[in-house]
A and B are shown apart, each in its own frame.
Chain A
Amino acid sequence: MSVDAATVRRIAHLARIAVSEDDVPHLQGELNAMLAFVEQLSEVDVAGVEPMTSVTPMQMKKRADVVNDGEITDDIVANAPATEGHFFLVPKVVE
């Protein structure tokens, strides 16, 4: 399978990465090189094979249902590019 220019633009939007028209051709070439490389997987017989979900056989661990964190609002907003008090600032989302 290979991707066309329109698909490159669609993937870029899904990935939330702005892509200029000038960048589309080389991105298309690079993505198609990767897709051509992974194409060889289609020759593997995977009938009846379970997809891997955990590389180390282990029981899913569950955390105790207790409050063990909190009161760290200053830490959480410490690295934000724009804040007001303890809130993150973003462009208007709801009209």
Chain B
Amino acid sequence: MTDLTSLTLAEARKGLAAKAFTSLELTDAHLSAIEAARVLNAFILETPDQARAMAREADAKIEKGDGGPLAGIPLGIKDLFATRGVRTTACSKILGNFVPTYESTVTSQLWRDGAVMLGKLNNDEFAMGSSNETSCFGPVGNPWRRDGSNTTLVPGGSSGGSASAVAALLCMGATATDTGGSIRQPAAFTATVGIKPTYGRCSRWGIVAFASSLDQAGPIARSVRDAAMLLRSMAGHDPKDTTSVDIAVPDYEAAIGKSVKGMKIGIPREYRLDGMPAEIEKLWEAGAAWLKSAGAELVEVSLPHTKYALPAYYIVAPAEASSNLARYDGVRYGLREQGRNITELYENTRAEGFGAEVKRRVMIGTYVLSAGYYDAYYLRAQKVRTLIKKDFEDCFAKGVDAILTPATPSAAFGIGEKGGADPVEMYLNDIFTVTVNMAGLPGIAVPAGKDAQGLPLGLQLIGRPFDEETLFSLGEVIEQAAGRFTPARWW
């Protein structure tokens, strides 16, 4: 029964419906895989008892014929999602042993549809990072290694635990969040599929906030179809999040296999960077050729403000973070360090509870919002953001259906390799993904090939607002052409 973990979610759903195996068997197979893969540090909390109870419940419902669309499917949950009665920390010391008394909207919808929770997944502290190295639980290992090398690589971040667990076949899919690339970059580093939907598509309620105008939840999955199935359950209007949009959720799976003939695909010239590895350039061309042979039309487009997206992001996101993270004061929940007075209590608690990257961002955010600097930094960045969004609008107005770009400027790198002296070196990882958050658009990363060292590389497709369906149709074309990639097991 060990190969139950190698099924896609779609295959598992078929097997469960046909009674080829039970959810309990499927769940147990994944729980054993998690136990055997602890060296990856993808799961920071395993919940086997809860998983088995949920699996039994799903089995009973499947037996009666009223299982939901995800009935009996075991999933991993990024530790940014509040889970009732199950420790939720955002991988920060400052949340300590926080146990929510409520459930995030996104996860509650997964449980409503019958999914099973295997446990909580590692991530960068408060989702601030691109390598999963800022987590208070330590870094996550990428199941992929360079050919002939024993060096452990990062899985990307911030959803590193989600990507690693899905790639290593520890869960059938995982929740993730994306503020500047945190779903798509780790998906590209691990040969998994990750989609950040349009801003407003998924409720942010019950997800630990980082930068509220950029944060969106989405799935990381083993295939494009699996991602479509998961997003359908995760998405939807929620009155508890005023930025959640009241538009019906389509059947995303129906978009898979739909013809892409006649679709206009934009190739943005500004994404062709100096010094970009030749392999990535080649992969990008291959992706364009696959879409072309499926009947799509390729057009060169221009997004002139692309290079300003990352610097604008590093004003807007820290500014919002400094405001969101003001709540961690050592009074209402989490860690408390004593002080002689209330101010010292705050200062000591936050000094002890926040890691180095979080402190840096809270401080830069505080600075750009402070009196005398607001106009020069924050207001200017928000104006640049308007221009970035307009670039995309102009492009879509010319009839472009989606935009094809590389997902990342490189393959996965080693733990401790980047950002040691200059934080900006790490930030550059998100150069192709961050524009999408700034414009609130949907973006999907699909595995498309490997580099010369055997590491996976991904392509990104960017869509019109609320047109995730086109991304699933096009993503599957790339998936069909490129094939699926599974790492050789070393753990």
Chain A residues in the interface with B (C-beta under 8 A): 1, 3, 7-8, 11-19, 27, 30-31, 33-35, 37-42, 44, 46, 49-56, 58, 60-61, 63, 72, 75-76, 78-82, 88, 90-93
Q: Are B342 and A33 interface neighbours, CB within 8 A?
A: no
With both beta carbons as reference points, the residue of chain B lying nearest to A13 in the complex is identified as B347
Q: How far is the CB of A56 from chain B (nearest CB, A)?
A: 5
Q: Are A60 and B242 interface neighbours, CB within 8 A?
A: yes
Q: Are A79 and B334 interface neighbours, CB within 8 A?
A: yes
Q: Name 14 interchain pairs, CB-CB below 8 A, sorted by A.
A: A8-B363, A18-B347, A34-B314, A34-B364, A38-B311, A41-B308, A41-B311, A44-B383, A46-B380, A51-B385, A56-B245, A80-B333, A81-B336, A88-B332
List, in ascending order, chain B residues with CB within 8 A of A78's CB: 99, 101
Do most interface residues of chain B lie in helix, strand or loop, or is the interface mixed? helix
Q: Give B323-379 interface residues, CB cut-off 8 Å to A.
A: 326, 329-336, 338-348, 350-351, 354, 359-360, 362-364, 366-367, 370, 373, 376-377, 379
Beyond A44-B387, A75-B102, 10 additional pairs, beta carbon < 8 A: A7-B367, A16-B329, A17-B362, A37-B311, A40-B308, A44-B384, A49-B386, A60-B242, A79-B97, A82-B336
**Is the C-beta of B7 less than 8 angstroms from some C-beta in chain A?**
no
Interface-side segment among B9-17, B173-181, B422-430, B476-484? B422-430
Q: Give B123-169 interface residues, CB cut-off 8 Å to A.
A: none
List, in ascending order, chain A residues with CB within 8 A of B312's CB: 38, 41
Q: How many residues of B contact A (CB 8 A)?
A: 74
Q: Are B360 and A44 interface neighbours, CB within 8 A?
A: no
**Is the C-beta of B200 less than 8 angstroms from some C-beta in chain A?**
yes
Alpha-carbon gap, A37 to B428, bound state (A): 11
Given known A15-B362, A44-B387, contact A79–B351 (CB-CB < 8 A): no
List, in ascending order, chain A residues with CB within 8 A of B99's CB: 78-79
Q: Are B314 and A15 interface neighbours, CB within 8 A?
A: no
Compute the total of residue contacts between A and B using a CB distance below 8 Å: 166
With both beta carbons as reference points, the residue of chain A lying nearest to B333 in the complex is identified as A79
Do most interface residues of chain A lie in helix, strand or loop, or is the interface mixed? loop
Q: Are A52 and B314 interface neighbours, CB within 8 A?
A: no
With both beta carbons as reference points, the residue of chain A lying nearest to B346 in the complex is identified as A16
Q: Are B331 and A38 interface neighbours, CB within 8 A?
A: no
**Is the C-beta of B414 less than 8 angstroms from some C-beta in chain A?**
no
Q: Are B334 and A46 interface neighbours, CB within 8 A?
A: no
Alpha-carbon gap, A65 to B112, bound state (A): 28
Q: Are A19 and B333 interface neighbours, CB within 8 A?
A: no
List, in ascending order, chain B residues with CB within 8 A of A79's CB: 97-99, 332-334
Given known A52-B385, A55-B440, A56-B465, contact A27–B363 (CB-CB < 8 A): yes
Alpha-carbon gap, A66 to B333, bound state (A): 28
Option from B383, B427, B439 in Cβ contact (under 8 Å) with A49? B383
Q: How far is the CB of B242 from chain A (nearest CB, A)?
A: 5
Alpha-carbon gap, A31 to B373, bound state (A): 14
**Is the C-beta of B243 less than 8 angstroms from some C-beta in chain A?**
yes
**Is the C-beta of B416 less than 8 angstroms from some C-beta in chain A?**
no
Given known A79-B333, A91-B345, contact A50–B242 (CB-CB < 8 A): no
Q: Are A91 and B380 interface neighbours, CB within 8 A?
A: no
Alpha-carbon gap, A33 to B242, bound state (A): 36
Alpha-carbon gap, A18 to B243, bound state (A): 34
Alpha-carbon gap, A27 to B356, bound state (A): 9
Q: Are A16 and B200 interface neighbours, CB within 8 A?
A: no
Q: How far is the CB of B357 from chain A (nearest CB, A)?
A: 10
